[in-house]
Amino acid sequence: MIAIIDYGMGNKHSVYNALKYIAVDSIITRDAGEISRAERIILPGVGAFGAAMENLRQFGLEDILHEEVIVKGKPFLGICLGMQLLAETGTEKGLFKGLGWIAGDVVKLQPAGTGFKLPHVGWNDIELVRDVGLFKGLKKEKAFYYVHSYAMRPADENDLVATGNYGVDFTAAVLKNNIFATQFHPEKSQKNGLTVLENFVDWRV
C-alpha cells in the first residue's frame, strides 16, 4: 500500500489514478495511522511553497512524515512541489523554511533568451547525471511533463540525478538514500512516467 499525502494542495487524484492504472494499491490520506501502515509514501503538490508548508504543519503531517521517511527509512517519492518542499528553504513570495531533507534551496527559474514563459508548462527531456534504477527502462526520448516556475538547487551535487533545460539548466530529479523526487509529473508523463512509478513501486532501498 502506498500513502499519497493529502495536504490540501496538488495533483493527488492524478497520482492515485496513475497507480491504479499500473495495478498498485494506494490511499489518499492525511491520517497518521494510515501513513504509518503504508509501505511507501508519495508527496505530490502544485502551488506555492509557503502555503504548502503551512498546510503540512496545520494538518500535523510534518512530524509523521519525518518519523516514517527519515527515522524509519520508508521509500519516498516527492513530485513537483512535493520535491521542492524537501529543500531547506523556498523563496516563492518570501523566504520559507522547508522540510530540510535535502540540503539546498528553491529559486525561481531565470531562462536566458526570449520565448521562455513562466510557468514552464509542457514536455521537456531530462539528462541523466548518473544512472539509477529508478530511471531504468525509459524510452530513448526521455521526455516528461512539467508545470513549474521554481526549481530546487541541491547543495550536494551527489543528490542530483537528472537535469532539464528551459533556457537554463534546472534540477529534474534528486535521490538521497530512501528519498527520490522529481520536478516533473510522472503521473502526467505517459509511458515514461508510468515506468518511473513502476520503478518506485519495485524500489528496494
Buried b (16+ CB within 10 A) or exposed e, 87-100: beebebeeebebbe
Say if residue 12's pLDDT is above 90: yes
Instruction: Kindly indicate the confidence band of residue 115, based on its pLDDT and cuts at 50, 70 and 90.
Output: confident
Cis peptide preceding 44, ω within 30 of 0? no
Exactly one of 68, 92, 185, 198 is catalytic; name it: 185
Domain 2-202 class in CATH: alpha beta
Q: pLDDT tens across 43-59, in order?
A: 998 889 999 999 999 99
Rounded to the nearest integer, the mean pLDDT of the chain is 96
Exactly one of 68, 92, 187, 198 is catalytic; name it: 187
Exactly one of 80, 92, 148, 198 is catalytic; name it: 80
- Please name which of 110, 42, 38 lies closest in space to residue 76, comparing C-alpha atoms: 42
Cell 537535469, residue?
163
Helix (H) or strand (E) holding 17: helix 12-21
- Catalytic annotation present for 62: no
* Non-local CB neighbours of 72 within 8 Å, separated by 6+ positions: none
- Catalytic annotation present for 80: yes
Each domain of the chain, given as residue ranges in start order, spans: 2-202
| The model's pTM | 0.96
- Catalytic annotation present for 185: yes
Q: Give the E-state strand segments of the chain in sequence order.
A: 2-5, 26-29, 40-43, 76-79, 89-90, 96-97, 104-108, 120-125, 127-128, 143-148, 150-154, 160-165, 169-176, 179-182
Q: pLDDT tens across 153-190, in order?
A: 999 999 999 999 999 999 999 999 999 999 999 999 99
pLDDT at 11: 84
